[in-house]
Chain A
Amino acid sequence: MLRRSVLGLTAAGALAAVLPFTAPAMAQYPDRPLTIIVPWGAGGGTDATARIIGSVLEKELGQPVNVVNRTGGSGVVGHSAIAEAEPDGYTLGIATVEIGMMHWQGLTDLTWENYTPLALMNEDPAGVQVAADSEYDTIEALLDAIEAGEPSTFRASGTGQGGIWHLAIAGMLNDRGIDPAKVPWVPSEGAAPGLQDLVAGGVNIVPCSLVEARALIDAGRVKSLAIMSSSRADLFPDVPTLEEAVGSDWQIGAWRGIVGPSGLPEDVATRLTEALEAVYNSEEYASFMQGQGFGVRWAAGQEFADFMAQSNTALGDTMKAVGLAQ
């Protein structure tokens, strides 16, 4: 199968080269296999989301859809590959929240404006998790303790330095008028090692999404105190939103959406958006996302573009406020 996808890529490359001469064939778009680039590793949540989208999209478009991983550089490599692809509708990608973060750190010049937005497919809000044996049972008690305590009394982990969950807690503290530096960030390779360290007693708070903490919450090792979203999660109806608990309107989450390189022909973008809407409304997609515990959120075209613009500004403001932006 992998060889097939490699061959598919080569074929795609060869066809892309002769494409200018076969322009009339575009009328029947798509007439050959598509590729979706995933900027994150095989086995992660983004990879799983892209693969389920790919397998349903295949039926919608009647052409094979190959999902390929281009990992590394905290997502920069894969996001660059999507932006640099031929804007012919045969190479798409799954963009993630990091597109609104990397450029503030000076890692790349890429922003959401380098893409043709097609469809937002998923969003998972951040939560506030502590160990089950922690003495803090409410977010209010925890925030009070952070405010009253010495700096470094609490440490948090769950992603790399300047990653989305790092911003989540920094933004939450900033919003409450607490210096974010009072809770030092311990970088980790994602939520799972961070949660492991939470249970092992190495850190005190892991502000990752609730779905990532799900197994340990179910196992009674971790408790979630709040969700940084406008509404409670279906999976954990007992966890209050920040707004309900402490009256803070700070909201943040990791999102994933399908994009193409900028300059995608309008008819192609329309065809793809229609197909993606059918995927989003399909039984397979809904049951898969529900099974994994992933949140779903839909936005297409201009609405998705506005969403990315807004996410970009909010992240940038937070990163500047906590000194992560360059």
Chain B
Amino acid sequence: MNAILAAFELVFTWDVMLTLVSAALFGLLVGAVPGLTATMATALLVPLTFFMDPIPAVGAMVTCAAMAIFAGDIPGALLRIPGTPASAAYVDEAYAMTKRGEAETVLGACVLFSAIGGLFGTAVLIFAAPALAEVALKFSSQEYFWMALLGLTCAAFIGASSPVRGLVSLLIGLLISTVGLNNPAGVPRFTFGSTEMLAGIDFIPAMIGLFAVSEVFRTIAAGAPPWDTVQTRVGNIFRNWGGMVRTYWRQQLRGNVLGTAIGAIPGAGADVAAYVSYAVSRRFSKTPEKFGTGHVEGIIESTSANNSSLSSAWVPALVFGIPGDTITAIVIGVLYVKGINPGPTLFLFNPQTIYAVFLIFILANLLMIPLGWLVIKFAKHLLRTPRQVLMPIILVFCIVGAFASNNAAYGIILMLAFGVLGFFMEENQIPIAPCILGIVIGPILERNFVTTMIKADGSFIAFFDRPIAAGLGLFVLAIWLSMLVSAIRNRRRGDLDEALS
């Protein structure tokens, strides 16, 4: 109890509060600019933390990362440019709602459920960190393989309205992910002798191209028509909160639990959590046909999941110093510099520090609501801007983001190429989201498949000879089987209908 009081004293001082608010605004700004990620925002803070005390230093990074992940939803909803890969899973859905004139509902949902998700993940972090970390540490390449396969299955078959088109998109993404040197054997593939291509296809310019540039092309090709529904103002974002929480509390809870579980496993982050949650939401929805047309249900579940996974990524980081994602990897370095060495001893010897960090997690997620409201109020002006003016501005931001991803003009070329690809995919009703997931997860799937094979001397039994792996494997196979059965059943029913008519 004394430790908790000490923690309050550490956190509630003017300089800590000021640091948190500034870091939050910085995170919101970076997250809202397409192409600039939460990881970049955190990395840019590192030199500043050298001059700070431990608590404000960690607080600044935690707050900045949480804000950046949420802010990624804003350009996603308003302009169909996912600010971070974690927002890519539901960006089409959110944009469809904006086009229908429901921007306030979707942004309100994003703020509210991001904050609740973050708080849920924090609660789990506070109460279950050591126990959860034990489970997360049991994950070897076999388990990661099944996790990756589960993510891909979700994206292609459950999350998409047409499984065949989803599969086409996924395969395009997987093909793209094979480019470069970043494979287990370290052999250059499809690089055509180019040094830049050795780095492979970075998903940031690819994502900006597929979603945003293709949208710019389409608008220009259609002669930049005005918005279908004229949205003069983003209304009260708080208006639908009560109704949404009452109607979708199940989805929210499921998103939180799933996000927390996925986030706690090192290496599987907010993006996987969002995709899997969106697919789960569609699968168990009473109205799956509404998905993709601008329906808030899937957005609630996946935005809950990506923010809760962000908090639970700290479980292995704080308990074992194993980074759950790139953001925690950066913060672990800062923790060491500040003398807060991650490990079980942190909980024993420095309880006031760890409680102070938890307190900052809670504050960061609460701050998200007022600050998010401010940013949304500011961002709504985008919707009043005529599209002839808006589209070139978007293109400028896209170019900045694509360049900044690796500080090279190569990113801009990639972005343009993917803009063209995205344009033709959409003209043929091929969804884009599975392709992004293919680019992100493809290398994880390949790496874990190959390393498992190396460890087992090529024996496939290895994928089932560890308890967690066997469980996950059977789960994935069961999903495939159930899809096969329902596909056959549908076809039979189709034949029957034909015979009857």
* A-to-B contact residues, CB < 8 Å: 1-3, 6, 9, 41-45, 47-48, 51-52, 54-55, 68-74, 76-77, 80-81, 105, 107-108, 152, 155, 157, 160-162, 184-189, 192-193, 195-197, 199-203, 214-216, 218-221, 284, 288, 291-293
CB of B171 within 8 A of chain A?
A: no
Q: How far is the CB of A166 from chain B (nearest CB, A)?
A: 10
Stretch at the interface among B2-10, B197-205, B374-382: B197-205
Contacts of B39 in A (CB 8 A): 42-43
Contacts of A202 in B (CB 8 A): 140-142, 451, 455
CA–CA, A252 to B280, complex, Å? 49
A84: nearest chain-B partner, CB-CB: B195
Q: Are B185 and A42 in contact (CB under 8 A)?
A: no
Q: Are A51 and B46 in contact (CB under 8 A)?
A: yes
List 8 tightest A-B contacts by C-beta distance, closest first: A72-B199, A215-B321, A73-B198, A202-B140, A42-B43, A43-B330, A291-B337, A200-B140
Contacts of B267 in A (CB 8 A): 193
Stretch at the interface among B176-184, B283-291, B488-496: B176-184
A160: nearest chain-B partner, CB-CB: B186
Q: Are A76 and B195 in contact (CB under 8 A)?
A: yes
CA–CA, A45 to B333, complex, Å? 8
CA–CA, A302 to B378, complex, Å? 56
CB of B371 within 8 A of chain A?
A: no
Q: Are A73 and B339 in contact (CB under 8 A)?
A: no
* B-to-A contact residues, CB < 8 Å: 26, 30, 36, 39-40, 42-44, 46-47, 50, 137-142, 180-182, 184-186, 188, 195-196, 198-200, 202, 266-267, 319-323, 326-327, 329-330, 332-333, 336-339, 341-345, 400, 403-404, 406-408, 447, 450-451, 454-455, 457
Instruction: Add 13 more A-B contacts to A41-B326, A72-B198, A292-B333 (CB < 8 A).
Output: A43-B42, A55-B47, A76-B199, A77-B406, A105-B186, A155-B455, A187-B454, A214-B341, A215-B342, A218-B343, A219-B345, A284-B50, A291-B339
Q: Are A189 and B454 in contact (CB under 8 A)?
A: no
Q: How far is the CB of A132 from chain B (nearest CB, A)?
A: 12
Q: Are A6 and B403 in contact (CB under 8 A)?
A: yes
- CB-defined A-B contacts under 8 Å, sample of 24: A6-B404, A43-B42, A43-B326, A44-B329, A70-B408, A72-B180, A73-B199, A74-B186, A77-B199, A81-B408, A161-B186, A187-B184, A202-B142, A215-B341, A215-B343, A216-B320, A218-B321, A218-B341, A219-B320, A221-B137, A288-B337, A291-B338, A291-B339, A292-B337
Contacts of A197 in B (CB 8 A): 140-141
CA–CA, A68 to B343, complex, Å? 31
Q: Are B185 and A187 in contact (CB under 8 A)?
A: yes
CA–CA, A6 to B36, complex, Å? 12
Q: How far is the CB of B457 from chain A (nearest CB, A)?
A: 7
Q: Are B43 and A43 in contact (CB under 8 A)?
A: yes
Q: Are A42 and B400 in contact (CB under 8 A)?
A: no
Q: How far is the CB of B410 from chain A (nearest CB, A)?
A: 9
Q: Are A215 and B322 in contact (CB under 8 A)?
A: yes
B39: nearest chain-A partner, CB-CB: A42
Q: How far is the CB of B199 from chain A (nearest CB, A)?
A: 2
A212: nearest chain-B partner, CB-CB: B321
Q: Tell me which of A43, A55, A70, A196 contacts B50 (CB under 8 A).
A: A55
Q: How far is the CB of B140 from chain A (nearest CB, A)?
A: 4
CA–CA, A71 to B200, complex, Å? 10
Q: Are B266 and A196 in contact (CB under 8 A)?
A: yes
**Do A195 and B447 form a contact, CB below 8 Å, given A68-B407, A187-B185, A291-B339?**
no
Q: Are B40 and A196 in contact (CB under 8 A)?
A: no
Contacts of B404 in A (CB 8 A): 2, 6
CA–CA, A160 to B140, complex, Å? 16
Q: Are B198 and A77 in contact (CB under 8 A)?
A: yes
CA–CA, A196 to B264, complex, Å? 13
